[in-house]
Amino acid sequence: MMPQFLSTRDAGFEEAFRVLLAQKREDSPDVDAAVAAIIADVRERGDAALVELTERFDRVRLTPETLRISDDEIERLCAQVPEAEREALGLAAERIRAYHARQMPRDESFTDSLGATLGWRWTPVSAAGLYVPGGLAAYPSSVLMNAVPAKVAGVKRLVVTVPTPDGVANPLVLLACRVAGVDEVFRIGGAQAIAALAYGTGAVRPVDKITGPGNAYVAAAKRRVFGKVGIDMIAGPSEILVIADRDNDPDWIALDLLSQAEHDESAQALLVTDDEGFGRAVAEAVGRRLETLPRRAIAGASWRDFGAVVTVRSLDEAAEIADRIAAEHLELLVGDPEALASRISHAGAMFLGPWTPEAIGDYIGGPNHVLPTARTARFSSGLSVMDFLKRTTVSRMTPAALAALGPHAETLAKAERLEAHGMSVRARLDRING
Amino acid sequence: MMPQFLSTRDAGFEEAFRVLLAQKREDSPDVDAAVAAIIADVRERGDAALVELTERFDRVRLTPETLRISDDEIERLCAQVPEAEREALGLAAERIRAYHARQMPRDESFTDSLGATLGWRWTPVSAAGLYVPGGLAAYPSSVLMNAVPAKVAGVKRLVVTVPTPDGVANPLVLLACRVAGVDEVFRIGGAQAIAALAYGTGAVRPVDKITGPGNAYVAAAKRRVFGKVGIDMIAGPSEILVIADRDNDPDWIALDLLSQAEHDESAQALLVTDDEGFGRAVAEAVGRRLETLPRRAIAGASWRDFGAVVTVRSLDEAAEIADRIAAEHLELLVGDPEALASRISHAGAMFLGPWTPEAIGDYIGGPNHVLPTARTARFSSGLSVMDFLKRTTVSRMTPAALAALGPHAETLAKAERLEAHGMSVRARLDRING
């Protein structure tokens, strides 16, 4: 099972690389009409709709009182988590907290030469909702990556919704909620959970911002409630780009590529190297490792359909290629990874040197693992405390500052034919001038 | 022509206030199908589509060569701008630049106790497009408010599109482009301009991010190209909330309210005061000033349909009301405006004291005038340099750091059934452990 091999030396490279970049990896089923109906139902009937939809989709019979998972129940389920997982989760939360605490922006206030005082203040979103998928794709690490930054930002009320198909809750997900300081947990999912978070029901009070991953229904629901509440990015399939020279163990690179490929058949794992033989060796190592992998069907399909090995003439060329790909995850396994990193602008997260497999960043490094996909790292960033903060600008003029600036504001207001704007300044200038 | 009067003392206040908050002020015509067709046409036919659509909508015959406004033509048109406007625009640009330069975030890199080096780097978007409306609503101030932050952020290629209906360009808009350092100006507008910026044509190279205001077609086109490129917020009608005590000149407050009302029949001007008589006096002053206003039809309709005077028992109550409204513009004209400001979390921009009419912020204060509307200040912020920057996180582990963290990452990977993730860590741990 071999991926695509490209070389910048080939005459057809530019064309082939453009096709690779433009490749559509995801079929988004059109679920918008179904989602619109679900949202309308939740807005109209509230808890009754949540109870009914949860029975239909998750095969769980609830009442408005049992939509929320009680603290006792969370306690009981958390007690099932093995000690090693408990310890790992605690350490991960602590490291994510320490990293994100450094992201907190500062307020600013300064007085300029005219005496005008200007600045801004950051304040947290009052209430945030975090969607957590249920079932197999329930990732406790994602709970930490969303919830910890929200709490670091100062969000007072943090609500999780997580579906419990057939009534089965994931203890490690609930422990992650507890460790991260989540305030309320509801056992609901799908578009109905997003509707409840955005508009509120009897049991669920509305929030101001919704983050977290989800399937096509959840994504469509987030798009629909955007504006009423804030949302985070809508993430596509995961990607990794590894830039590696020949001084690496092909087996390590193979495993790094497979750790993205195993996420999803639509995931993409790319290798860029300046040594064609090394590229072949990595591809062979991928083949060997694939055989042993529990998720080999998924990882194999991803590698076959979307994987690629690109041979470049130089690391300068590798940097150019990397900027054009703008990968979600970028590993740099070269002699001087810092130097190469400084020549690349577009990537969600960079992992430098042979001892930094991307999986460390997924769990425990400290930086966020919610990152821009599908080349959107050209213009967007991973999740951070900024997603849970907003900035209010503050201005205060003195009579002297207004006397200096007011006439120019009046000139521009007149030029834009906004007379009342000019008059609101002029009335004050007349008082100042006597 | 009187607005709505409310008082928190009234039995029906809560209900009436909820209605006020939920009021829909904007009819967005459904232009999505038309916009989809225009975008498809531009993607397929490029410059030929731009030329044809511009002739149809703007009554201007262009060629692929004249889509761009040449530097000579810009020069010639800029020379028509009167000296007073030139001076005002220059001062505004300088103040906006100085304010936004303070927003530039810092890179971070630190080494933790395990020896792991973590941090992040900010880099600018490579190319940005700024949509500027044409005709009467052509606001040179908006050009500065979008273009200056982009250039402060370090955007290398900044492209403006501005329609020139009947071939008429606005010299002050072009001067604003020049003053702000815009690199290319195209005389195209509507959904076709957004399509050209997002996908590129022969004459227009694509950009990575599009900002700027526009009509329903432009807004729909921005929504459609989002994902392919980044976009800023989709702004709704303008709003102002003034909190004023009786120690103010009712005429000044009236003019401040009217300076929002004159923007648009859907704009909203609200007064909150702790003195009912003062509220009445302001409403009367609005009536008097309206008669003299060139835009009295627009301002009058806005004030009649969406204006309100709310009497509160105390400034504490005013702060609560302000947070529920989450206004785009918030003026605080009370004895201690800083104290009141510190009790309010949700607002796009605050203007403190009697000498800071909001119009100063529209033009020349320094802070941005592109601000969150329609209660979205609960979760979003005004335009800033951050809109033109993105953050890449950076991690580098040492063997010692990986030895300490790796086993926990492996534990969590196994718990999430992502075996290759665990194996990519394990292969390295085995090497470290010998």
Contact between A121 and A391 under an 8 Å Cβ cutoff? The reply is yes
Q: Is the pLDDT of residue B28 over 80?
A: no
Quickly state the pLDDT bin for A434 (edges 50, 70, 90): confident
Token representation of residue A409 = 């504001």
| Catalytic residue (choose from A329, A358, A369, A410) | A329
| Closest in A289, A299, A367 to B118, CB measured | A367
Q: Roughly what angle, to the nearest 10 degrees, separates helices B250-261 and B276-292?
A: 60
Amino acid at A429: L
Quickly state the pLDDT bin for A28 (edges 50, 70, 90): confident
CA distance B352 to A398: 10
Q: What average pLDDT does this structure show over A187-194? A: 97
β partners of residue A239: A268
Closest listed residue to residue A220, CA positions, set A38, A387, A384, A377: A38
**Helix, coil or strand: residue B161:** strand
Closest listed residue to residue B214, CA positions, set B57, B94, B367: B57
Percent of chain B whose predicted confidence (pLDDT) is above 70: 99
Interchain contact, A337 vs B374, CB within 8 Å? no
Q: What average pLDDT does this structure show over A205-229? A: 94
Interface test with B, best of A81, A100, A282, A363 (most B CBs within 10 A): A363
Task: Return the residue matching tokens 């702000």.
Answer: B180
| Closest in A110, A365, A392 to B349, CB measured | A392
A chain contacts of residue B346, beta-carbon cutoff 8 Å: 123, 126, 390, 392
Interchain contact, B355 vs A402, CB within 8 Å? yes
Interchain contact, A419 vs B84, CB within 8 Å? no
Q: What average pLDDT does this structure show over B208-237? A: 92
> pLDDT by residue (tens digit) across B30-74?
898 999 999 999 999 999 999 999 999 999 999 999 999 999 999
Contact between B262 and B290 under an 8 Å Cβ cutoff? The reply is no
| Catalytic residue (choose from A265, A328, A358, A410) | A328
Identify which has the larger pLDDT, B226 or A257: A257
Length of chain B: 434
Contact between A272 and A241 under an 8 Å Cβ cutoff? The reply is yes
Q: Which residues contact A212 (CB under 8 A, 6 or more apart)?
A: A129, A130, A131, A132, A142, A146, A232
Output the average pLDDT for chain A. 96
Distance from CA of A168 to the nearest CA of B (A): 16
The confidence score (pLDDT) of residue A120 equals 98
Length of chain A: 434
Q: Is the pLDDT of residue B327 over 80?
A: yes
Largest CA distance in chain B: 87
Question: Please, what is the Cα angle at B164 between B158 and B300, to 5 degrees?
Answer: 100
Interface test with A, best of B263, B412, B432 (most A CBs within 10 A): B412
Distance from CA of B348 to the nearest CA of A (A): 5
Please give the residue of chain A at the shortest CA–CA distance from B349.
A393
A chain contacts of residue B208, beta-carbon cutoff 8 Å: 378-379
| ipTM score | 0.96
> pLDDT by residue (tens digit) across A360-374?
999 999 999 999 999
Q: Is the pLDDT of residue B340 over 70?
A: yes
Residue B325's H or E segment, with its range, is helix B315-325
Q: How far is C-alpha B397 from the chain's CA centre? A: 40
Q: What average pLDDT does this structure show over A205-219? A: 95
Is the CA virtual torsion B77, B79, B80, B85 positive or negative?
positive
How crowded is residue A308: how many other Cβ atoms within 10 Å of its Cβ?
A: 22
| Closest in A252, A351, A394 to B428, CB measured | A252
CA distance B375 to B347: 8
Q: What number does CATH give the domain B4-21+236-379?
A: 3.40.50.1980
Token representation of residue A366 = 């400290």
Interchain contact, B419 vs A295, CB within 8 Å? yes
- Whether B192 has a binding-site annotation, put simply, is yes
A chain contacts of residue B358, beta-carbon cutoff 8 Å: 424
Contact between A330 and A345 under an 8 Å Cβ cutoff? The reply is no
Q: Is the pLDDT of residue A137 over 70?
A: no
Largest CA distance in chain A: 87
Residue extents of the structural domains in chain B? 4-21+236-379, 46-103+124-231, 397-432
Per the annotation, the verdict on A26 as an active-site residue is: no
Q: What average pLDDT does this structure show over B197-207? A: 98
Interchain contact, B393 vs A341, CB within 8 Å? no
A46-103+125-231: same fold as A4-21+236-379?
A: yes
CA distance B327 to B371: 9
DSSP-derived pairing of the beta strands B389-396 and A209-211: unpaired
B chain contacts of residue A394, beta-carbon cutoff 8 Å: 341, 349-350, 352, 367
Task: Return the residue matching tokens 């702060």.
Answer: B319
Q: Roughly what angle, to the nearest 10 degrees, separates helices B171-180 and B71-78?
A: 120
User: DSSP string spanning A148-215?
Assistant: HHHHHHT-SEEEEE---GGG---HHHHHHHHHHT--EEE---HHHHHHHHHH--SSS---SEEE----
Closest listed residue to residue B392, CA positions, set A33, A174, A352: A352
The confidence score (pLDDT) of residue B136 equals 62
> pLDDT by residue (tens digit) across B392-406?
999 999 999 999 999
Interchain contact, B230 vs A380, CB within 8 Å? yes
Closest listed residue to residue A333, CA positions, set A410, A252, A390: A252
Quickly state the pLDDT bin for B26 (edges 50, 70, 90): confident
CA distance A331 to B144: 39
Q: Which CATH topology does B46-103+124-231 take?
A: Rossmann fold (3.40.50)
Q: Is the pLDDT of residue B377 over 70?
A: yes
- Count chain A–chain B contacts defined by CB atoms under 8 A: 368
**Helix, coil or strand: residue B50:** helix
User: DSSP string spanning A59-72?
Assistant: -----TTTSBPPHH
B chain contacts of residue A381, beta-carbon cutoff 8 Å: 390-392
Distance from CA of A412 to the nearest CA of B (A): 6
Token representation of residue A254 = 């193979």
Q: Distance between terminal CA atoms of chain B?
A: 85
| Closest in A139, A381, A413 to B390, CB measured | A381
Catalogue the E-assigned strands of B322-388.
329-333, 349-352
State whether CATH 3.40.50.1100 applies to domain A46-103+125-231.
no
The confidence score (pLDDT) of residue B314 equals 97
Quickly state the pLDDT bin for A136 (edges 50, 70, 90): low
Q: Is the pLDDT of residue A335 over 90?
A: yes
Active site (catalytic) residues of B: 328-329
| Closest in A341, A349, A396 to B356, CB measured | A396
Please give the residue of chain A at the shortest CA–CA distance from B248.
A428
Token representation of residue A117 = 């005082």
Quickly state the pLDDT bin for B318 (edges 50, 70, 90): very high
CA distance A239 to A385: 23
Distance from CA of A15 to the nearest CA of B (A): 17
Question: Please, what is the Cα angle at A150 between A373 and A90, to 5 degrees?
Answer: 95
